Chain A
Amino acid sequence: MIEFTAVTKQFSDGTVAVDEFSLVIPARQTTVLVGSSGSGKTTLLRMINRMVEKTSGEIEIDGESIYKLNPVKLRRSIGYVMQNSGLLPHRKVVDNVATVPLLNGVKRADARQAALALLDTVGLDRALADRYPSQLSGGQQQRVGVARGLAADPNILLMDEPFGAVDPIVRAELQQELVRIQRDLGKTIVFVTHDIDEAFLLGDQVVLLEKGGRIAQAGTPAEILSKPANDFVATFIGADRGRRALKVEVVNGRNVVVDADGRPTGVLQS
């Protein structure tokens, strides 16, 4: 469990990225922070592994303040996956995945073995292990990034728009892969995105952020969809445009779900 209590971050240029933010992130679930740029979602994420230091407030992991821990040790215990994969270009895929275990003093051969197994977990061919990141496609690099984030078997995985830079087809694939991995591993995932559909797809809890890290609404996707807290939320999730207002029409004796414009989106199974 990660708990934010009245956390404020003011950058040195005076901008307040996050103002008095409080939130409980439950363990072994996926919490998605979603908002437009400037909503402070990445800042919040990076405060969890102290890549961004707070101005005031308190962040606790399982009841223990993260500010009592050494930042380097803290980071090694938390997986981190970023948008552009952030792989080390001069190291082979397998060595990239093994980065954190090696820093933690795991023997090279063991770390390598574990890294190869992780490539299986994220759906990568072991034949890619000895390639360099630049020889992989964007989607493959992102998978390596996820494998690296999981390498030290952390309880917490931070993901900062990890699928933002890949094309829609690959993104959909990676999202499904993450759903599967999460089903198997049950990590505490904090996921940042600006894509509400991605948030609803992946999140057990979705936190909609307005400017300055103000929580517009937090809840399960169903709660947010069924009862948007205000106009901002309704606009953000597309309820006001009728995108979420689906109707059932009977076509050829089957229940076809159509949107507000009458365009079919699927068939209702009974």
Chain B
Amino acid sequence: MNFIQQGFAWIFDPVRWSGPGDIPSRILEQLGYTFGAVAIAAAIAIPLGLLIGHTGKGRDVAVALSGGLRALPSLGLLIIFALAIGIGFKAPLLAFVILAIPPVLSGAYAGVEAVDKRTVDAARAMGMTEWQVLTKVEVPLGAPLIVAGIRSGILQVVATATLAYFASGGALGVFINDGLVTRDYNELLGASILVTALALVLEGIFALLQRLIVPRGVTAGQIAEVRSRPTRSRPTVGSPIQEGK
């Protein structure tokens, strides 16, 4: 318990809240990597995922690709990029983009695939163009899973962004490394708490966002179903329901 208190004491020491390399600027760097990498990953993976989900083509390739990318060790990737393009923020950003692509990609195609095929068929039979089927039906109905993919990507990157210091890329990993090197365990612990808190806050925000993005009609149905279906089936009695009256 003492350790934890000292960790918090390290965080709340006013010295760390101003000047170059202070906690706010490190947090901003951490968030910058997170949102930057996920934004780039989303720009690549969401159109690709929507295309795969809509056409049903290339699904096997996407599964294999995202599985393969997931297996890559982030640290190894980071070092390779740092050696290739030099230290700074670019190498870690690139590594984190690759880390974020698999969850975003699978969220996007799973979201579109999960939409009831009969609904899609009806939309097409009404005379929607393929683009309208995608934007007016598949994306709104698949949105919860698409956002879940982004959420998962953000969570992975915000935790992994601590590795950026390996390429002199800043972020909260700097404190962790300093703590390790100087055997300042308060600093080590304090920085770890910060990373954890950051991840939890983002997770909370996105969990909320994911709930908000579920189309109204879909939730309305779920609630109606809970109300209209008794847990034990009742014997049918009385007169039939007057349809539409």
Residue positions of A touching B, CB distance < 8 A: 46, 49, 51, 72-77, 80, 82, 84-92, 99-100, 103, 122-125, 128, 131-135, 137, 139-140, 143, 148, 167, 169-170, 173-174
Q: Does B87 contact A (CB under 8 A)?
A: no
Query: What DSSP secondary structure best describes chain B's contact surface?
Result: helix
* Segment at the interface with A among B50-58, B196-204, B216-224: B216-224
Taking each of B123, B225, B243, which has the highest tally of chain A beta carbons within 10 Å of its own beta carbon?
Answer: B243
Q: Are B244 and A140 in contact (CB under 8 A)?
A: yes
* Interchain CA distance A91-B123 in the complex, whole Å: 12
* Interchain CA distance A125-B244 in the complex, whole Å: 6
Q: Does B85 contact A (CB under 8 A)?
A: no
Q: Are B127 and A88 in contact (CB under 8 A)?
A: no
Q: Are B217 and A51 in contact (CB under 8 A)?
A: no
Q: How far is the CB of A157 from chain B (nearest CB, A)?
A: 12
* Interchain CA distance A140-B244 in the complex, whole Å: 6
Please tell me the size bucket of the interface on B: 20 to 34
B-chain residues with CB within 8 Å of residue A122 when the two chains form the complex:
244
What 0/1 pattern do residues 89 to 125 of B give for CB contact below 8 A with A? 0000000000000000000000000001011011111
Q: Are B217 and A75 in contact (CB under 8 A)?
A: no
Residue of A73, A82, A85, A87 touching B125 (CB-CB under 8 A): A82
A-chain residues with CB within 8 Å of residue B216 when the two chains form the complex:
90, 132
Which A residue's beta carbon lies closest to that of B136?
A88
* Interchain CA distance A88-B115 in the complex, whole Å: 11
Q: Are A132 and B220 in contact (CB under 8 A)?
A: yes
Q: Does B132 contact A (CB under 8 A)?
A: yes
Q: Are A84 and B132 in contact (CB under 8 A)?
A: no
Q: How far is the CB of B94 from chain A (nearest CB, A)?
A: 37
A139 and B244 in contact, given A86-B125, A88-B123, A89-B215 (Cβ under 8 angstroms): yes
- What are 7 A-B pairs with beta-carbon distances under 8 A? A51-B125, A76-B127, A89-B218, A122-B244, A123-B243, A133-B221, A134-B224
* Interchain CA distance A86-B125 in the complex, whole Å: 10
* Interchain CA distance A51-B124 in the complex, whole Å: 8
Residue of B116, B128, B243 touching A137 (CB-CB under 8 A): B243
Residue positions of B touching A, CB distance < 8 A: 116, 118-119, 121-129, 132, 136-137, 140-141, 215-218, 220-222, 224-225, 240-241, 243-245
Which A residue's beta carbon lies closest to that of B115?
A89
* Interchain CA distance A72-B245 in the complex, whole Å: 35
Q: How far is the CB of A93 from chain B (nearest CB, A)?
A: 10
Taking each of B121, B122, B225, B240, which has the highest tally of chain A beta carbons within 10 Å of its own beta carbon?
Answer: B122
A89 and B125 in contact, given A82-B118, A132-B216, A139-B243 (Cβ under 8 angstroms): no
A-chain residues with CB within 8 Å of residue B243 when the two chains form the complex:
123, 137, 139-140, 143, 170, 173-174
Residue of A46, A88, A100, A170 touching B137 (CB-CB under 8 A): A88
Q: Are B127 and A86 in contact (CB under 8 A)?
A: no
B-chain residues with CB within 8 Å of residue A99 when the two chains form the complex:
126
A86 and B119 in contact, given A51-B125, A92-B217, A132-B220 (Cβ under 8 angstroms): yes
Which A residue's beta carbon lies closest to that of B218?
A89
Q: Are B141 and A89 in contact (CB under 8 A)?
A: yes
Taking each of B125, B224, B225, which has the highest tally of chain A beta carbons within 10 Å of its own beta carbon?
Answer: B125
Q: How far is the CB of B129 from chain A (nearest CB, A)?
A: 5
B-chain residues with CB within 8 Å of residue A100 when the two chains form the complex:
126-127
